[in-house]
Amino acid sequence: MKAVEIPFAPSLADRMQRGDLFTEKCPSREILKHVTSRWGVLLLVALLSGTQRFSDLRRKVNGISEKMLAQTLQWLESDGFVERISYPVVPPHVEYTLTQSGTEIAKKVEALADWIELNLPEIIAAQIQKSEQ
């Protein structure tokens, strides 16, 4: 477990003028990386359906490997977006649930994903047009 680094607090002024996001080593970029990662996006959206087990998620998110599932869930858990509940039984039974803040951010991510799915036809059409000109 890597130690948490000292957070640097951006001034309110910085935040007002559209943020420190554009700054290197801004802590937000790290969170953003977890959330917008290839599997982070899909897991957050998947978890909006409610509490699910490890194997449920593995089945639902097509193409994810066990390694990346475990790792991404750990990222999201460490950011406080996902709560992991392990029942001491055999065979093991572990459940994953979105926290309050996890639900909030998942909805933002879902809005993005939904927009893309909805507008996919036009996007593809634009690509084809470009390739033909």
Q: Which residues are near DNA by CB under 7 A?
A: 37-39, 53-56, 63-68, 70, 73-74, 84, 86, 90-94
| Residue 53 backbone phi and psi in degrees, to 5 | -85, 165
54 binds, among DNA, a copy of itself, none (CB under 5 to 8 A by kind): DNA
**CB burial class (10 A; 0-12, 13-18, 19+) of residue 35?**
buried
Q: Which of residues 30-89 bind a copy of itself (CB under 8 A)?
A: 31-33, 35-38, 41-42, 45-46, 49, 60-63, 78-80
103 binds, among a copy of itself, DNA, none (CB under 5 to 8 A by kind): none
* Three-state secondary structure string covering the chain: CCCCCCCCCCCHHHHHCCCCCCCCCCHHHHHHHHHHCHHHHHHHHHHCCCCEEHHHHHHHCCCCCHHHHHHHHHHHHHCCCEEEEEECCCCCEEEEEECHHHHHHHHHHHHHHHHHHHHHHHHHHHHHHHHHC
Q: How far is the CB of 52 from DNA (least distance, A)?
A: 9
44 binds, among DNA, a copy of itself, none (CB under 5 to 8 A by kind): none
Q: How far is the CB of 8 from DNA (least distance, A)?
A: 20
Given the rule CB under 8 A, which residues bind a copy of itself? 1, 3-4, 7, 15, 18-24, 27-29, 31-33, 35-38, 41-42, 45-46, 49, 60-63, 78-80, 101, 104-105, 108-109, 111-117, 119-124, 126-128, 130-131
